[in-house]
Amino acid sequence: MSPRQPLVLVFLVLGCCSAAPRPHKPTVVVFPGDLRTNLTDKQLAEEYLFRYGYTQVAELSDDKQSLSRGLRLLQRRLALPETGELDKTTLEAMRAPRCGVPDLGKFQTFEGDLKWHHNDITYWIQNYSEDLPRDVIDDAFARAFAVWS
């Protein structure tokens, strides 16, 4: 037996051990609304009002008037009492799931009636990605539709 044979045997055993199947960690898709943050109520309101077009960059300071003005606009849009104060109902509305498109902003719309007059939508996924398992993709769509329904 040559001195290299035990060394070759060790490498073969290590190679087989490293090729052993490892437990599969499930892929988790996290939606932005699922994230929990440690923002204060005021920070949440400032971020929300800026993100959805109720305040501008220049107003992101300790200016209470711009915060109050943005809150009034939001409360009017949501048919809440227009107090300009960060109350419980306004905070609940801010924490509710919603799309990421700003409510206010400079954009152009088409003329005419653009309302979708149907209540049922049919869809299918023609090609699944190879990067994620099918059940993860199906779950992501189900959760997204649950937010929009």
Q: Give buried/exposed letters for 8-39 (b at 16+ CB in 10 A, else e).
A: eeeeeeeeeeeeeeeeeeeeeeeeeeeeeeee
Binding-site positions for Zn(2+) read: 99
Instruction: Give tens-digit pLDDT for 31-78.
Output: 655 555 677 888 888 888 988 888 886 556 667 788 899 999 999 999
| Rounded Cα–Cα distance for residues 105 and 51 (Å) | 10
Instruction: Give tens-digit pLDDT for 80-106.
Output: 999 999 999 999 999 888 888 888 766
Average pLDDT over residues 116-129: 84
Binding-site positions read: 99, 131
Which domains are assigned to the chain? Answer: 40-95 (1.10.101.10)
- 88, 138 in Cβ contact below 8 A? no
Binding-site positions for Ca(2+) read: 131
108 is written with which tokens? Answer: 């152009």
